[in-house]
Structure formats: C-alpha cells, structure tokens
Homo-oligomer: A and B are copies of this chain.
Amino acid sequence: MALYALILAGGRGTRFWPRSRASRAKQVLEFLGAGTLIQQTVARLSPVVREERMWVLTSPLLRSEIIRQLPNVPPRQVLAEPAQRNTAPAIGLACHILESLDPRAVVGVFPADHFIARPKPFLTIVRRAFREAAAGHIAIIGIHPRWPETGYGYIEFAPGSGQVRRFVEKPDLATAKRFLRSGRYAWNAGMFFWRPRVFLDALRRHLPKTASLLASLPPFDDRNFTRKLASVFPQCENISVDYAVMEKVRGVVGFAAGDIGWSDVGSWNAVYELLAKDSSGNALKGDVLVLDAAGNYVEAPHKLVALLGVQDLIVVDTPDALLVARRDRAQRVSELVKLLESRRRDLL
C-alpha cells in the first residue's frame, strides 16, 4: 500500500480577521510556535506520509502561497477548487485523481488548520486508521471530548467496539453534556481514511450526481483536465463529506484520540488558550506595555501597544486594521467580517 494525505485547505477562516484576509486565510498564518498551521500539519504527518504523496485542496486565492509554504509538496498536487463546494466534491475529486494515478493508494484526509500539541500519540492512531483503510474499511479519528462543546459534530461509538454508530451535528448544551457523561462520544475532527475506490463507491451511492460529474473528467495529466474541471466542478453539490457520505455509510471504524492536545484553533480565544501567559494571564506578542491589565491577548508586530486597566480583551493590530474585542466574543469576529463586506471590501 502507498499512504497519501489529502490536506483540506479551502477555508476562509474569517474569525481571524484582521490578520486573516481572503488571500491570507487562517491555514497559511503562523499562530503557535514555528511555521504556519498548514506547515505544521505537513510536518506533523511527514513521519507517516512522504511529502511527495501529500495533496492539498484549496482556493485559487491561496494556491500560490501554499505552494510557497510547502516546498516539498509537488506544486501540481496543490489543487485549486474552481468553486467553493464544501468537502464532499473536493475529496471526491482528489480520490478520483489518486484512484487513477496509484491503485495501491490509501488516503487520509486532514484539515490544514488544526493544532496538535502531542504529535506522537496522534501518529500512532493515524497509523492504525491507515491500516483499517488499507483493509478496505472507512476509518475516522475522533477527539475525546474535554467539554460539552456545542459547536462541533460528534461521533457515537457502538458500546464496547470501535464501530461508529452514528454522527450527530452540533448538539444543544444538554445533549452535549449527556454525550460527555456517556463516554461513548468523540468530537468529529474531520479526519477520514479510505481507499479511493471505497470512497468513490460510497459517493456514487449517496451523492450520485457529483460522483458522475467527477467520473466525466479526463485523466489528471490530460491537457484538458483543468479546463474541464472548471466547467464540471461548479455543478457538483455544495455539501460536506459528513452529511453526504459519513452519516450514511455503515461499518465505519472509529478511533478516539485522547491525550494529543488537539485544538481546531477556532477563534482568537482558542489561540489565547493555547499560548503561554504571564503571571496576570496576558498572552502578549510584540512590544506590549502593561499596567494593571489581565487576561488579554495582544498581537501587534508593528508598534508598541500599551494596555491600561483592561481585562480579557483581544487586541490584534495590522497595518490597515485593528481589532479590539472582548475575548469571550471572539467567535463573533466573523460577524464583523460580514459587516465589512458591505463597507470596506478592501479589508477582507
């Protein structure tokens, strides 16, 4: 078997405005330690998957930056999706290509923009998931839940087995608490494993229109491939792989990762939580002067910032835009970006 990684890097990541912009989305930014999130994803996986077998799916706006950031990934394997069609068509496209290029291929799907503090135990589980996939199964890695998060999807395991019973999208708080107590649920972190043929069979059954559109594409090295893709891909259904496939297939093998220090890096507050703090709970990047201020996150590479008497704020300064937000409202930064769409498109 030949292990391939399919790295999904198409997101906009508007919650990281003003640092993230359309052409500098979350996955190509550096938040935690050395390297951007996508560089860290590639480095983390490289003991298991050779970089020349990594493929990236992204938007046209990000492709050249990703090629620049990943010098060991062949540029032709960084695919620009001609339209935003969520994960099902994107993964289908990649599996369609890999199926034709390497019949021994076993594929793992990974988000480009998550953080994992302890890669070693993570890779142990990745190897096991690849083995299940090589044996013809669909495998998934879930994250052992640490709090009753209502913003994630959950995977329910059948009692006493590694079999996935069902997927549950964003539950309400009471349900999430019940999930946590039961011990049978894991967060769905979007990491899937399969042979391309297995996935394409499932796609044909559950999303036949997209499956046949992708089947109509010429071979990847055909000189008409890109042109044909540009006309075919926008016709695919706009749907996630979770809804389109995972919730419908039977016999999914699940692995719950516990102590790997996973984070989806979902907001400025999530970054704050992952960073080292000073004795007042401030996480400060840049030249920051603090007087009687606590619990703040500051990112300001270009100038001195002075905090006086303030608590639990996010302050992110860029050359053309400054964000000052309550830390517990960091999820709502995407609403600010929506407001900007009608006012200052130059800052998106």
Contact = CB atoms under 8 A, between A and B. Distances in A.
A18 interface: yes
A303 B332 CA distance: 21
Contacts of A328: 309
A317 B322 contact: yes
Interface in A271-319: 287, 289, 291-292, 300, 303-310, 313, 315, 317-319
Interface residues of A, number: 38
A174 interface: no
A280 to B, nearest CB: 15
Interface stretch (A46-54, A83-91, A191-199, A337-345): A337-345
Given A303-B320, A319-B303, A325 B308 contact: yes
A259 interface: no
Interface in A14-61: 17-18
A234 B292 CA distance: 37
A329 interface: yes
B347 A324 contact: no
A326 interface: yes
B322 A308 contact: no
B304 A321 contact: yes
Nearest to A339: B289
B304 A326 contact: no
